[in-house]
Amino acid sequence: MTRWLSPPALFLPVGVVLVLLALYPMIATGYGLRVMLQLFMWIALAQSWNVISGLTGYVSFGHVAFFGTGAYTGAILMTRLDLSWLSASLAGGVAAAVLALAIGWPCLRLKGPYFAIAMLGLNEVLRVAASYFEGLTGGGLGLSLPTLHASEPLYYAMGAVAVAVTALTFAIVTSRFGLRLMTIREDEVAAEAMGIDTFRYKLYAFVLSAVGPGIVGSLAARDQGYIEPISVFPLITTITMIVMVLFGGKGTIWGPVLGATVLFSFQEMVWAHFIYLHQLLFGAIIVAVVLAMPRGILGVLQQKYNLPRTL
Amino acid sequence: MTVITPTMIGQVVISGLLAGSLYAMVALGLGLIFGVMRVLNVAHGPILMLGAYVTFWLFSTVGLNPYLSLLVSMPLLFALGVLLQRTLVRRVVDAPELSSLLLTFGLSIAIVNLAQLGFTSDLRAVEFMTGSFVLGPFAFSKSRVIACLFAVAITTGAFLFLQKTRVGKAIRAVSQSREVAQVCGIDVQSIHMLAFGLASALAAAGGSLVAVMVAIQPEMGAIYTFKSFLVIVLGGAGNYPGALLGGLLLGLVEQLASLFLTTQVNEAVAYILLVVVLLVRPTGILGGRAS
């Protein structure tokens, strides 16, 4: 009865949506294009967090560190070496992956709350480092990029990253690799006993989860035209991606897309009217999501209607 | 490169211990919450910020001595802590760390936002005590020395309470094993509320004491949350003497880092220390719980 939700059956509607999104710039206003671009950014970020934390259960409480690393790598390459934004953003992804490898190697041995704290610390330290190495990063003054002439190429690039990260999640969830990650989430000791090299697979997942935010960070830096330590390493960005994933459904394929779309639309439509209260409202939303629906929309639906795991 | 003399080292060590005693007191509160409830409380720093505002308002409106304001800020935030635990935090006790981190983060930004609305984001200061004590070649800011004395007294009091009184023993029993404590007739729910209240009172004390030394503003708390996390992991989460050791160690490392490197990097140095400690002893220096 749930065949209409199985992956091949979803190809058609997903394809239609993608075609419509690809045609959108023909009719879009500048504002509309930038809103969609940001939505793609949030989908890519939420989906990436889902790869490490949704699938393995290791809470990366400082995932914005990879976003910021990508942003700085990209911005430095674009301003100092005059690299094109496309190659700079790929370099941003590579830099984030290298950082994930270096940090994951010690930190993924830590369990539960200790890993979360170590990741929170990483983000704090990178922010301090970005302000400290003034020669390279411009310190607290930040870096300004040359004026951007057209948003369309960035729109397609950001959209491509969002699609790629979602496709990656699909590929992971439907593979043996994904099964191993989910076994680690359910019971790491048992996974180890079954012969899974848990540390290695956690590290793979962690590095994969860093690439997307790295590229997206660099693209966002290009889009905004200016970055500073506070703007690319805020804890609230990590929290926002987590809440989006939680809202949509942790560990699912479409949950992060759904969560990012709903929460981002809500933010665009509602928060603009409550400038002084929006942190309070966001706090209330977080508390409500954690208390009322920790499994998220898709999690609840999956349980209730016995939907396929690959949703 | 300036020459580093033994006097400078001595000065730095003492400054480190002065700062560390405050970290230890504040982190003991965070450690208490984690030990008893397995909740990582991101709102600990914002509660400290509220403590600082209590002192500021009492000082600027009725001219109350900032140190006497401890008698107001601690009970007031004890009550707030009990209320928060009773209404919200109790629902994430024992949940995976993601739930408690997110819930308390939500609380944290809500508290900061309310403080911005109520108190504005202007920098405030309590200009109460300036100047230094001079002792031989060393000089210490008066406010830091007095803050350290209060922190030592309050922390000692908290320890005696945990160690000697029946209620304190009940708190430790719950943090060792909730089930066994419950079987022994301990009312675990009340202990949870009490622990959260006590922890908030310790944070409030920290806030009142730093109010005299630093600029007060709604976002001042975040850095204390971060430092308290470092301290309880360094010492061993759920290990109460470990929080003291971790606090003093953090104070020392920060001061030494600012002597040999620069003050801007001391957070980074503290973080590297944390990662090294976690790798060598994943459960902290004095040992804590695995998770």
Q: What is the pLDDT of residues B248-286, one digit of tens each?
A: 988 988 888 887 777 667 777 777 787 777 777 766 667
Only one residue has tokens 């639309």, namely: A265
Q: How many percent of chain A have pLDDT more than 70?
A: 96
Name which of B95, B110, B279 is nearest A280 (Cβ-Cβ). Answer: B110
Name which of B110, B271, B275 is nearest A283 (Cβ-Cβ). Answer: B110
**CB spacing of A121 vs B265 below 8 angstroms:** no
Domain boundaries, chain A: 36-234
Distance from the B280 Cα atom to the nearest Cα atom in chain A, whole angstroms: 10
Name which of A128, A276, A294 is nearest B117 (Cβ-Cβ). Answer: A276
What pLDDT shows up at residue A91? 94
What pLDDT shows up at residue B1? 52
* Contact status, residue B43 vs residue B89, Cβ threshold 8 Å: no
Residues of chain B found within 8 Å of residue A129, distances taken between Cβ atoms: 268
Task: Determine the residue of chain B that is closest to A131 in CA distance.
Answer: B264
Domain boundaries, chain B: 12-220
* Contact status, residue B231 vs residue B243, Cβ threshold 8 Å: yes
Give rounded-to-5 percent helix, strand, coil for chain A: 80, 0, 20
Residues of chain B found within 8 Å of residue A287, distances taken between Cβ atoms: 88, 103, 106-107, 110
Q: With the CA atoms of B110, B115, B120 and B121 taken in that order, what torsion angle do they form, in degrees rounded to the nearest 10?
A: -70
Q: How many helices (H) and strands (E) does chain B have?
A: 11, 2
What pLDDT shows up at residue A73? 93
Q: At residue A149, does pLDDT exceed 80? A: no
Annotate A133-189 with DSSP letters as a single string.
Answer: -HHHH-GGG-EEPPPP--SHHHHHHHHHHHHHHHHHHHHHHTSHHHHHHHHHHH-HH
* Chain centre distance of CA B250: 12
| Lowest model confidence (mean pLDDT) among A21-35, A213-227, A295-309, B174-188 | A295-309
What pLDDT shows up at residue A1? 39
- Between CA B34 and CA B175 the distance in angstroms is 9
Mean pLDDT, to the nearest integer, of B109-129? 87
Contact with chain A for residue B97, Cβ under 8 A: yes
What pLDDT shows up at residue B291? 40
Q: Which two tokens stand for residue A33?
A: 């294009």
What pLDDT shows up at residue B263? 66
**CB spacing of B226 vs A121 below 8 angstroms:** yes
| Lowest model confidence (mean pLDDT) among A36-45, A148-157, A176-185 | A148-157
Name which of A109, A122, A287 is nearest B103 (Cβ-Cβ). Answer: A287
Q: At residue A5, does pLDDT exceed 70? A: no
Contact with chain B for residue A131, Cβ under 8 A: yes
**DSSP-assigned beta bridge partners for residue A67:** none
Helices (H), B38-65: 44-62
Q: At residue A2, does pLDDT exceed 50? A: no
- Between CA B97 and CA A290 the distance in angstroms is 11
**CB spacing of A53 vs B91 below 8 angstroms:** no
Q: At residue B9, does pLDDT exceed 90? A: no
Q: Which of A148, A124, A145 lies closest to A64 in space, CA to CA?
A: A124
Only one residue has tokens 């979360």, namely: A116
In total, the C-beta contacts within 8 angstroms joining chain A to chain B are 128
Whole-structure pTM value: 0.87
- Between CA A252 and CA A10 the distance in angstroms is 15
What pLDDT shows up at residue B2? 65
Band (pLDDT 50/70/90 cuts) for residue B290 is very low
* Contact status, residue A125 vs residue A107, Cβ threshold 8 Å: no
Name which of B102, B113, B229 is nearest A286 (Cβ-Cβ). Answer: B102
**CB spacing of A280 vs B109 below 8 angstroms:** yes
Q: Which of A162, A142, A158 lies closest to A89 in space, CA to CA?
A: A158
What pLDDT shows up at residue B110? 92
Distance from the B123 Cα atom to the nearest Cα atom in chain A, whole angstroms: 18
Mean pLDDT, to the nearest integer, of A228-244? 89
**CB spacing of A114 vs B264 below 8 angstroms:** no
Residue partners of A80: CB distance under 8 A and separation at least 6: none
Name which of A61, A110, A124 is nearest B282 (Cβ-Cβ). Answer: A110
What pLDDT shows up at residue B57? 92
Residues of chain A found within 8 Å of residue B274, distances taken between Cβ atoms: 117-118, 121
| Lowest model confidence (mean pLDDT) among A185-199, B188-202, B257-271 | B257-271
Contact with chain A for residue B290, Cβ under 8 A: yes
Q: At residue A113, does pLDDT exceed 50? A: yes
Distance from the B279 Cα atom to the nearest Cα atom in chain A, whole angstroms: 7
Band (pLDDT 50/70/90 cuts) for residue B47 is very high
- Between CA B32 and CA B34 the distance in angstroms is 5
What pLDDT shows up at residue A97? 96
B33, B99, B101: which to substitute to probe chain A, counting the most A Cβ within 10 Å?
A: B101
Mean pLDDT, to the nearest integer, of A162-185? 91
